[in-house]
A and B are shown apart, each in its own frame.
Chain A
C-alpha cells in the first residue's frame, strides 16, 4: 500500500516535473515522495505548494469570505501576515502564539483562522497553517470542538482539489492536501469528535466524493456511532473541581458496588488548624460496601491489615491516587469453606455429598489457574498520602468496623509518583487513645 502510494506520488511529481521551476532529481524524488507521505518535510512541502494551480473558486458556502479590501485589516494582522507570508511553518505557529498573548480561548483561535482566510484569496500555505493549527488546538482547549474543526476544514480552498477526470481520480490528486485533510480527520478521531453533515459537505466541496479524506470520513462515520455507547460507565466530560466530589466520583467507580457507602471523614473547610494556616487542602474520603464490612467483621484480628497505596486512577487526563485497606490472603490451613446449610431448602438438596475421583476424560472444563489476592476491606482518597492523614481514615472506619480496634494496622505507603505536599506537616490532633489502642508500625 505504502509502496504503491509513494510510487504514484513519484509519478505525479515526475509528470509535473518539467513544469515545475526546479526539476527534481531521482534522489530528490525519493525523498519527496517519502516526505509527502509523512507530510512533515518542510522544504518539500513548499515545493509542492508552488505547483501551479489552475484556477481558484472560493467556497460556495461562504461567499462573504472573498478577499476583503486590505484597508479592513488591522495593523497587527498585517504585521502577522507579513511575517507569515512565504516563510516556513514556524511562522504560522507564531501566528497562534501572538494571538495567545491575550488569552487562549476558542474566540482567539477562530479569529486567527478568520484572519488567515481573509488575508489571501489563494490561501497560500494553508496546509502548513492547518498543521500548525492542529498542533495548537489542545493549547487553546478547542480540541474537542466540532465547529472549530469545521472552520479549520473551511480553510481549504474549495473545488480546486476535486479530480476532474479518471486519470486524476486514478492517481493521487493533490496528495499533500488530501493527506492534510486525512490528518485533520484523524485528529478529530483521536479526540473522539464525531463529524457532522457540515464536515461532509465541506469535504465533498474540497476533495470530491471519492477523495481519501472522504473515505476517512466514511470510516469514521461507520465506527463512531457503533462505539458511541461502548462504555456504559462513561467518565463525565467535565470532572468536578472540588477534590471531595472528585474523590467521591472516583471511589464509586473503583468500588463498583451500588450499595457501597461513601463517607467523608474530613472536610476541607471544617478543618481550621490551630496555627490558623490554610489547611483547606486536607480531606479524607473513604468508601466501604456492606459486603466488605461483613468480610472485615470475619477477619481474624490477630492478622494485621495493611494500608497500601497510593495507586493511580486515571479519569481521562486527570490522575488521582487512592489507598486501600487490605489483608493478606488467608493461608490454606485457615480457610474454612462455608458449608451450605443442609436445612436450607425444603424441597431439594442444594449440595450433593459426593467425592468422586474423576479421570482426565471425564472433566471437560477448562483448567483455570486462579491467583488469590487478599481481601480489600475499604478504600479511600486523601489530600496527602502521609500516615497522619490516613490514620484519620482508619479511626473513622473504626466506628463502623469495631474489629479494626483490635487489629494491628500496618502502613505500607510508597512515596508514590506524586510529589507529596511539601508544606504539609503531620497534624496529630486525632484521639491519641484510639491510635494507642492499635499497634502501629511502619
Chain B
C-alpha cells in the first residue's frame, strides 16, 4: 500500500504493476515488454554470481571477460592477503555499482519502507505474540518485500544485491524477527530456485513466492546433522520409473517451517557414479510443496529471541516429489546448499549494520540527555569510549556489507571469504554494540520498555545460525591457507628450475629476505588510499606483510595437518577479519575524502582509530603464533579443557571446601 504512492514515479511503474499481482498471473509475455535493460541486469545479478555466461546486457558480457582473467589470478582481497599480497581490484576505490535508475528506484523505496516499519510494524507486539502480526504481514506482501530479488518479469522487485542490502538494513534496524521471516523466505528459502532453478521451476514458483502468497523455507538442519553433511538422515529414493522421488525424514529448527508452502529440502539420494559405476549416497536438493501430501510440521519452538519468526520441525513422510522438482542436478545438492548459504551471508551484515544504527541512536539519545553529578554522561570518558567504539563497529560492518554486495553485483566469483568475514564480524559487532548500549543506558536498558533487551535476545542467534562463527572462522582460515598453499607450491615448483624462472624467483626471494630483515617488501597502497590516510594505509601494508609471513610459516610447519590446528586457525582468521575490516574502512574513508563528503573528516578519524587498534591486534596475534609461548598456551588450554570434560564440570574444589 505504501509502495503504491511511490508507484507514481515512472521508474517504478513496471515493478508495481507486477509486484502486487494478487492473482499471481503476471505472465512474462506482458512484463518483459516493460523490462528495462537495467532491470534485466539487476535480476541477473543474483545469478551472475553463479555462472558468468549471462547473456543480454553489456554489463554481463563485460563481467564474463573479467572472469577469464580472474581465473588465473584471484582478484579477491581476502584471498590475496593470505599470500601476503594486496589486490586492490575489488576494494579500491570503494565500488559503486548502481546506475542512476537503480539509485533512484532504491531511494524511492527506502522512504516508504522505513515509514512502514516506523508506523505499521510493532516489534514489541510481534515479540509478545510470537508471530508477525497479520496486518504487518499483509503490508509487507503488498510492498513486495517477499520478492525483493525475484526478477520483475516474475513478479518481484528485481533488486540487485546492493539494493537488497539497503532495504534489509531498514528491516534489521527495526525488527529482526520480521527480518528472519523475510530472510528465511528469500535469502535462503527460495534462493535455490533463483540460483539453480530451471525456467519451468522459476515460472511455476517464483511469482507466487514473490508476492508472498506462498512462503518458502530452507530445510537443511537435522537432529543429527548440523554442519556434517554425511550425517543427513533424510532420504529420497527414486522410483523405478524414475519419474518421482519418495522423500522421508525430519528436519528441525526450520525458520518459517510452520508457515511455508514451498520447501527447499536436502536429502540423500543414491547416485551412480558415471565413471566407476559405484552407487554412492549424495545430497540432492528438492522443491517440495506442502500440497504433495505427507508434509507435517511441529508446534512453533519456544526461543530466546527472534520470537516473531516461526521456527518449527518439519516432517516428510513418504512425500512423492516429481523429478522436475529436483533443484540443480540429482546428487548436486551440496553445491546448491553451499551457494545458497554463501550468497545469503552479506544480507546478514547489512541487516545488522541497521540494527547497530538503531541501537546506537538509542544509546546516544540517553547519553546526551542523562545528567549525573551535574554533567551529561556523554562527557564522561568511559561513555565516550563506548560510543566511539560502537560507531566504529557500525562503520566497519556497514562498509563490509556494501563492499561485498557491490562485489557480487560486479559479478565477482570469489566473495566467499569476504562474505563469511562479514557474517562473523557483523554478528559479533552487533552483539557488542547492543551490549554496550544497554550498559550506557544502565538500568533503563535492562527494562523491557526500552526495547533494547529484545534486540539483544534477537541478536544472539546470529552468531549461531547459517554456520556458527566458530566454524566460519575455520572456513576463512582454511580457505586462505588453501590459496596460499597453492602459491607456495608454485614457488617450490619454480625452484626446481631456477634458471628458467630466474625473474620470478628473484622477486620472491628478495621479498622473503626483506620480510625476514623486517623491511618493507615493496608493497604499497600509495596512490590508492587517500593521501590523508597514508599512515593508516602503511599500517595495513605492514600488517599484511606480517600476516603473509606467518601464514607461510604455519603452512610449512604443519603442512596438510594445519586443518587440525584449530588454535592456530582461530588466531589466523581473527587477524584476517581485522585485515579485511581495515581495508574496507580505508577504502570507504578514502572515497569520502576524495568526494569531499561533509562527514569525511569524521570518517577519517574512524578509519585511523580502527586501523591503529586492528594493527596492534594483528601484530600481537602474529607474534604470539611465532613464539614458542603459544605452543605452551595451546597445550595448557587443551589440557584444561580435557580435564574439565573428563570431570563433567569444573575440576577445582569449592574454595570453602564444600
Which A residues fall within an 8 A CB radius of B? 341, 343-359, 362-364
Contacts and interface: CB of A to CB of B under 8 A. Distances in A.
B489 interface: yes
Contact of B230 (A341, A354, A362): A341
B229 A358 contact: no
Contacts of B229: 341, 343-346
Given A352-B485, A358-B559, A362-B556, A346 B337 contact: yes
A408 B648 CA distance: 49
Nearest to A348: B475
Contacts of B488: 356
Contacts of A364: 557
A358 B338 CA distance: 33
A345 B475 CA distance: 10
Contacts of A359: 556
A363 B474 contact: no
Given A343-B229, A348-B478, A355-B489, 15 more contacts: A344-B230, A346-B220, A346-B229, A346-B338, A347-B227, A347-B467, A347-B474, A348-B227, A349-B475, A349-B478, A351-B560, A352-B560, A356-B489, A356-B556, A357-B492
B10 to A, nearest CB: 44
Nearest to B335: A343
Contact of B227 (A346, A354, A356, A363): A346
A358 B472 CA distance: 28
5 contacts: A348-B472, A349-B478, A349-B482, A353-B482, A354-B485
B230 A347 contact: no
Q: Interface range on chain B: under 10, 10 to 19, 20 to 34, or 35 or more?
A: 20 to 34
Contacts of A351: 560, 563
A359 B492 CA distance: 11
A360 to B, nearest CB: 11
A354 B220 contact: no
A352 B481 contact: yes
Contacts of B474: 347-348
B283 interface: yes
A232 B352 CA distance: 53
A347 B478 CA distance: 11
Contact of A348 (B283, B471, B486, B555): B471
B562 A352 contact: yes
A356 B282 contact: no
Contact of B559 (A346, A349, A363): A363
Contacts of A344: 228-230
A78 to B, nearest CB: 62
B479 interface: yes
Given A352-B481, A354-B485, A362-B557, A343 B334 contact: yes
A349 B557 CA distance: 19
B188 interface: no
B74 to A, nearest CB: 15
A262 B559 CA distance: 43
Contacts of B556: 356, 358-359, 362
Nearest to B230: A344
A343 to B, nearest CB: 4
Contacts of A363: 557, 559
Q: Does more than half of chain A's interface fall in helix, strand or loop, or is it mixed?
A: loop
B341 interface: yes
A341 B482 CA distance: 17
Nearest to B231: A344
Contacts of B559: 354, 356, 358, 363
Nearest to A345: B227
A355 B474 CA distance: 20
Interface in B469-507: 471-472, 474-475, 478-479, 481-482, 485-486, 488-489, 492
A354 B482 CA distance: 7
Contact of B282 (A343, A345, A354, A355): A343
B555 A346 contact: no
Contacts, number: 77
B135 to A, nearest CB: 37
A352 B227 contact: no
A347 B282 CA distance: 17
Those 5 A-B pairs whose CB atoms lie nearest each other, nearest first: A348-B475, A343-B334, A362-B556, A347-B467, A354-B485
B560 A354 contact: yes
Nearest to B221: A346
A362 B559 CA distance: 9
A347 B475 contact: yes
Contacts of B562: 352, 354
A362 B472 CA distance: 28
B560 A343 contact: no
Nearest to A362: B556
B478 A356 contact: no
Contacts of A353: 482, 485
Contacts of A357: 492
Pick from A344, A346, A348, A364 the residue with the most CB of B within 10 Å.
A346
B311 to A, nearest CB: 19
Interface string B214-235: 0000001000000111100000
B196 to A, nearest CB: 15
A287 B227 CA distance: 35
A349 B555 CA distance: 16
A80 to B, nearest CB: 59
A341 B231 CA distance: 12
A352 B563 contact: yes
Nearest to B569: A348
Nearest to A357: B492
Contacts of B475: 347-349
B279 to A, nearest CB: 15
A337 to B, nearest CB: 12
Given A354-B555, A356-B492, A349 B283 contact: no
A194 B337 CA distance: 64
Nearest to B471: A347
B482 A352 contact: yes
A344 to B, nearest CB: 5
Contacts of A356: 485, 488-489, 492, 555-556, 559
Interface string B553-568: 0011101101100000
B273 to A, nearest CB: 13
Interface in B213-271: 220, 227-230
Given A352-B481, A354-B482, A355-B489, A345 B557 contact: no
A17 to B, nearest CB: 60
B625 to A, nearest CB: 14
B563 A350 contact: yes
Interface in B334-355: 334, 337-338, 341
B479 A354 contact: no
B479 A343 contact: no
A357 B492 CA distance: 7
Contacts of A346: 220, 227, 229, 334, 337-338, 341, 467
A359 B481 CA distance: 19
Nearest to B555: A356
Contacts of A348: 227, 471-472, 474-475, 478-479
A186 B563 CA distance: 54
B551 to A, nearest CB: 12
A145 to B, nearest CB: 36
Contacts of B227: 345-348
Contacts of B228: 344-345
A355 B485 CA distance: 8
Contacts of B486: 354
A84 B560 CA distance: 79
Nearest to A349: B478
A357 to B, nearest CB: 5
Contacts of A343: 229, 282-283, 334
A367 to B, nearest CB: 14
Pick from A348, A350, A355 the residue with the most CB of B within 10 Å.
A348
Contacts of B489: 354-356
Contacts of B337: 346
Interface string B529-563: 00000000000000000000000000111011011
Contacts of B282: 343
